[in-house]
Amino acid sequence: MIKSLFILGGALFKEKVTNFVDILGLKFNILNIENFNSVSYIDYCIIDLNFNDTNISSITCNYCFIHNDLNIDISIIKGNQIIYGFGINNNITYTSIDKDSNTFLYCLQGFFPTLKEELYNLEIPIQCKLDDLVDLNASMLGITLGILEGIDYLSIQEKYKNVIFL
- CA torsion 104-110-113-118 (nearest 10°) is 80
Task: State the CATH number of the domain containing residue 76.
Answer: 3.40.1190.10
Task: Tell me, yes or no, if the pTM score tops 0.85.
Answer: yes
Domain count of the fold of the chain:
1
In terms of residue numbers, what domain contains 70?
A: 3-165
Q: Distance (Å, rounded) from C-alpha 92 to C-alpha 143?
A: 10
Nearest to 60 by CA among 41, 46, 86, 33: 41
> What pLDDT, on the 0 to 100 scale, is given for residue 113?
64
pLDDT in tens, the chain (166 residues): 799 999 988 888 999 999 999 999 999 999 887 777 777 789 999 998 777 666 777 889 999 999 988 878 888 889 989 999 888 888 898 888 877 778 888 998 876 666 566 667 788 888 887 778 888 889 999 999 998 898 988 999 899 886 765 5
pLDDT value of residue 166: 52
Q: What is the largest CA-CA distance in the chain?
A: 46
